[in-house]
Amino acid sequence: MELLDGKKTSLDIQNELSEKVKSLVANGTNPPHLVAVLVGDDGASRTYVNAKVKACERIGFKSTLHHLSSDTSEIELLKVIKSLNEDHSVDGFIVQLPLPNHIEDHKITLAISPNKDVDGFHPENVGKMALGLPTFLPATPNGVMELLKRYEIPTEGKNTVVIGRSSIVGTPMSILMSRKSNPGNSTVTLAHSRTKNLEQICKQADILIVAIGIPEFVTSDMVKPNAVVIDVGIHRIEDTSKKNGFRLIGDVNFSEVSKKCSYITPVPGGVGPMTIASLLMNTYIACNERN
């Protein structure tokens, strides 16, 4: 078994971007500018946003964090989005999900200008992705694609099973893996909460991509020998032996499955860092397109 090291790969990508930023700046162009909007005080969301902001700083991007209180109204948030859409100093921005219950995610996603939507969630960008047109690809699935590409994992003609059909992970993941591209060209099955015989379906997978949101759901009896296993899940589990009181685990039972598969992403250090790398790649593209 070989680890698909998302942490290392993400740092490689960040170093490449850092070199590109240096030459942009040397040519008198402003560095890419990413804005992150965080509403409320959800601990995990704060951690994700801080990691994105820190990564920007590390590679010479400009980054700005708008931290709004949890009682921010939908109208107030829409005003912030309008001003970011119109601000020429901003190349791209993200609104960290999930939002508080009184704000409808899809209204916010629709309000973001598609050419600043570096998370790739706007329906216009999702439509372009489905048609194979150039666009901002959603950060997590694109991070997985980049990892498969850099590890030269063959995907053409393989059976890929994606568990989970969320609009930000599972569904775009299934589209990207089935597109006529490399990586891609897979025969894809998208499994979800109404799927029957999930175990049998998973056992057919040469590549198993898990985004179900249930800790350690996938066990070794669900995995074909030598399969490639991508674990998108992230869960905080209480652990008093850790300084911060928790540890991270995925949707896959790593200790069992890693003994049976050929490649696997660890949690942490797998898909998570690739999501950040992918967001930075999108922001760099947004900056290039505006200059």
Enumerate binding residues for ligand NAD (CB under 6 A).
140, 163-166, 168-170, 191-193, 195, 198, 211-213, 232-235, 251, 271-272, 275
* Catalytic residue chosen out of the listed positions 5, 117, 119, 251: 119
**Among this protein's residues, is 119 annotated catalytic?**
yes
Region of residue 215 (left: phi > 0; alpha: psi -120 to 50; beta: else): beta
Minimum Å distance from CB 236 to ligand NAD?
Answer: 10
Rounded least distance, CB 28 to ligand NAD, Å: 35
Q: How far is the CB of 130 from ligand NAD (least distance, A)?
A: 18
Six token digits for residue 190? 């998208």
Separation between Cα atoms, residue 132 and residue 152, nearest integer Å: 21
Q: Which residue lies nearer to ligand NAD by CB, 170 or 183? A: 170
Residue in 5, 14, 96, 116 annotated catalytic? 96
> In this complex, which beta carbon is closest to ligand NAD, that of residue 87 or of residue 105?
105
Instruction: State the minimum distance, in angstroms, from the CB of residue 148 to ligand NAD.
Output: 15
Nearest to 183 by CA among 208, 209, 129, 146: 146
> Among all residues, whose Cβ is closest to ligand NAD?
166
User: How many residues would you count in the chain?
Assistant: 291
Task: Find the distance separating the first CA and the last CA of the chain, reported in whole Å.
Answer: 44
Cα dihedral: 100, 104, 107, 113 (round 10):
20
In the complex, minimum distance from the CB of residue 234 to ligand NAD, in angstroms, rounded to a whole number: 4
Report the nearest approach of ligand NAD to the CB of residue 159 (Å).
Answer: 17
C-beta of 32 vs 269, nearer to ligand NAD: 269
Nearer to ligand NAD, 163 or 227 (CB): 163
What are 95-98's contacts with CB under 8 Å, separation 24+?
95/37, 95/39, 95/119, 96/36, 96/37, 96/38, 96/39, 96/45, 96/48, 96/49, 97/45, 97/168, 98/42, 98/45
52 annotated active-site: yes
**120 membership: H or E segment, kind and range:** none
The helix or strand, by DSSP H or E, that contains position 188, with its residue range, turns out to be strand 187-191
Residue 237 burial (10 A CB sphere; 0-12, 13-18, 19+): exposed
Q: Which CB, 90 or 162, lies closer to ligand NAD? A: 162
Helix residue ranges, H only, the chain: 6-26, 43-59, 74-86, 105-111, 123-131, 139-150, 170-178, 198-203, 254-257, 271-290
Of 165 and 260, which has the nearer Cβ to ligand NAD? Answer: 165
Concerning whether 200 is annotated as a catalytic residue, the answer is no
Residues labelled as active-site residues? 52, 96, 119
